[in-house]
Amino acid sequence: MDQFIVRPLFGDGDVGVFTITNATLWMALSVLGIALLFIVGTRGRAIVPTRVQSVAELAYGFIHKMVEDVAGKDGLKFFPYIFTLFLFIVFSNFLGLLPKAFTPTSHIAVTAVLAVLVFLTVTIVGFVKNGAGFLSLFWVSSAPLALRPVLALIEVISYFVRPVSHSIRLAGNMMAGHAVIKVFAAFAPLVLISTIGIAVTPLSILAITAMYGLEILVAFIQAYVFTILTCVYLKDALHPHH
């Protein structure tokens, strides 16, 4: 699985904290792509938008509506953060689909940082906004009294599992998709060494193509899911009452 290896961009030394690696390069490329899209997209400010402006407006409107629908009007204060998250993930996912590219979001280290930041933000916002009332998130007042302690325990556990599932979902999906393509790619050159390859090679090339199409879908959906779950968690922090 050569594509998941983090290696220094210059030279062959060890990977330290400040080493510029291929991960750094592809994350920087995503940021550059986002900046380019929005600088070029918002420069004209035409009434009838150009193609780039349409894409920028579409992305902005899509996430803005999602934040408003899911987290409510007061969640819009966090729109810049959520939009940044979405764009970074979507650009990393799509740039990672290029041949020979490195996918930063396929690494748990990257997604864990994003998820833990969301978790900390949500927890701090919840306590700042509601004070100790935030704890009512764990006390399901609509349930029968005898059930509430049990439910509280379950709610606390599910609250602390959030950053884990949040990060592993994204990293796992990206990594699994790339790994599946790699597995099929390993079968593709079979025709060169064995006659059974006459049947296997076209099939595996077809499978790579199909998986690649699916990966394009997954790259977008996982970015969408990551952001929408951030909105859901934010809604919990802003309105913790069940």
Partner 1 sequence: MTGDIVQMGAYIGAGLACMGMGGAAVGVGNVAGNFLSGALRNPSAAPGQTATLFIGIAFAEALGIFSFLVALLLMFAV
Determine the Cα–Cα distance for residues 217 and 207; give it in Å rounded to an integer.
Answer: 15
Residue 225 C-beta: closest distance to partner 1, Å: 4
Smaller CB separation from partner 1, 30 or 230:
230
Determine the Cα–Cα distance for residues 218 and 66; give it in Å rounded to an integer.
Answer: 19
Determine the Cα–Cα distance for residues 205 and 209; give it in Å rounded to an integer.
Answer: 6
Of 53-72, binders to partner 1 (CB under 8 A) are: 66, 69-70
Of 11-30, binders to partner 1 (CB under 8 A) are: none
One of 190, 203, 225, 239 touching partner 1 (CB under 8 A)? 225
Determine the Cα–Cα distance for residues 92 and 56; give it in Å rounded to an integer.
Answer: 17
Residue 86 C-beta: closest distance to partner 1, Å: 13
Of 88-127, binders to partner 1 (CB under 8 A) are: none
Residue 64 C-beta: closest distance to partner 1, Å: 14
44-53 long-range Cβ contacts below 8 angstroms, 24+ apart: none
One of 72, 224, 240, 242 touching partner 1 (CB under 8 A)? 224
Smaller CB separation from partner 1, 208 or 218:
218
Evaluate whether 110 touches 98 at the Cβ level (below 8 Å).
no
The number of helix segments (H) and strand segments (E) in the chain equals 6, 0
Smaller CB separation from partner 1, 70 or 237:
70
One of 172, 185, 201, 239 touching partner 1 (CB under 8 A)? 172
Evaluate whether 201 touches 191 at the Cβ level (below 8 Å).
yes
Using a 10 angstrom Cβ sphere, with 0-12 exposed, 13-18 middle and 19 or more buried, the burial of residue 55 is middle
**By CB under 8 A, residue 82 contacts partner 1:** no
> Which residues are near partner 1 by CB under 8 A?
66, 69-70, 165, 168-169, 172-173, 176, 221, 224-225, 228-229, 232
